[in-house]
Amino acid sequence: MVTSAGCAAKLFPHLLADTLKGINWHTNDNVLVGFDGSDDAGVYKISDDFALIHTTDFFTPVVDDPYIYGQIAAANSLSDVYAMGGKPLNALNVVAFPQKEDLQILKDILRGGNDKAREADCVIVGGHTVDITNIIYGLAVTGFINPKDLKANNSAKPGDILIMTKGLGTGLLNNCVKYNELEDKIYNKLISSMTRLNADASKAMLKYNANSCTDITGFGLAGHSMQLAKASGVVLNFTVDNLPVLEGAYEAIKKKMLTRGDKSNRIYTEEFAVNKGNVNTDSEHLLYDPQTSGGLLISVPEKSSKGLLEYLRNTGDEISSIVGFVESPGEFQAGSIIFNF
């Protein structure tokens, strides 16, 4: 069995940003999305109607079942392509595995990843492995898109409505899994959420002409929302009570199943996150909880928002919710994220 160790902590984002500074990154006019916008994928134009999306993600096991872990890791890796409105094309396995460990575990991990990639009609064409103590798995994914359909995180418009497609709380609940503190019913719902592809949600936002999108993963709702707000030069205004939350997440908070990311994501966003009203500290933890294979945060024109929400719920993203709106900077600086309690 794979020993659940929780999602590997990301390098503190503010440290990563400092590390990237001062390097003269080679680029050219075909780079549509690079380092500038803090998107989780890069986009390179091949022609006026065809561009490639490149992304990678990987982490340590979050559940004990190696096959399910493989599925979760693959779904998480594919998500950045869907967040941009693209379609996955092919992928490479990224594997760290100790040779002294039972190789059947590795086979089950790879089988899980392959089955999830097959569901996405994404061909795994190879990969790379290293022999180290910790097990790590994920995919390096190449997707494609017509540049005119690209949904980056820099194009949210004042007046847009914000819609979330999956519930928050995976970091907290994965910690419960680690300590055997999760009942089967809640565990099954958690796995269903983390293994669900964002493919249907991606198609939906294209159908309803969304302006911008990001997926919610390791930097939590606060971190990824701030990145979108800064890149778009806007302010995001959330109603905390409207945020979709996975069953069991509040119980996990009561049990103090907080992750390291809760702290680092607060540090990352502290200059831009604003609380208004009577702050519920339990709900506040959900804003910073790092998500594994989380959903999409979609910024869509108000006239299309109800149609998009209905379409999302009818195509399987049943927990989708309208969670806020986009506004111009004024009282608050561009990049601010306002949480109304």
CA distance 169 to 259: 11
Task: Decide if 258 contacts 173 (C-beta within 8 A).
Answer: no
Beta-bridged to residue 138, according to DSSP, are 58, 94
- Is 97 strand, coil or helix? coil
**CA atoms within 13 A of residue 250's CA, in its CB half-sphere:** 9
Output the CA–CA distances (angstroms, integers) from residue 305 to 34, 159, 207, 239, 310, in the order listed.
29, 11, 11, 16, 9
Output the CA–CA distances (angstroms, integers) from residue 18 to 11, 15, 23, 225, in the order listed.
11, 5, 10, 20
Please state whether beta strands 42-47 and 31-33 pair in parallel, antiparallel, or not at all (unpaired).
antiparallel
CA distance 309 to 306: 5
Q: Give the alpha-carbon dihedral of 181, 184, 187, 192, to 10 degrees.
A: 180
Task: Just list the catalytic residues.
Answer: 7
Please state whether beta strands 235-239 and 337-340 pair in parallel, antiparallel, or not at all (unpaired).
parallel
CA distance 238 to 221: 10
**What backbone phi and psi angles, to 5 degrees, belong to 81?**
-70, -45
In order, the DSSP letters of 292-339 are SS--EEEEE-HHHHHHHHHHHHHTT-TT-EEEEEEE-SSSS-TT-EEE
Beta-bridged to residue 137, according to DSSP, are 59, 95
CA 308 to chain centre: 20
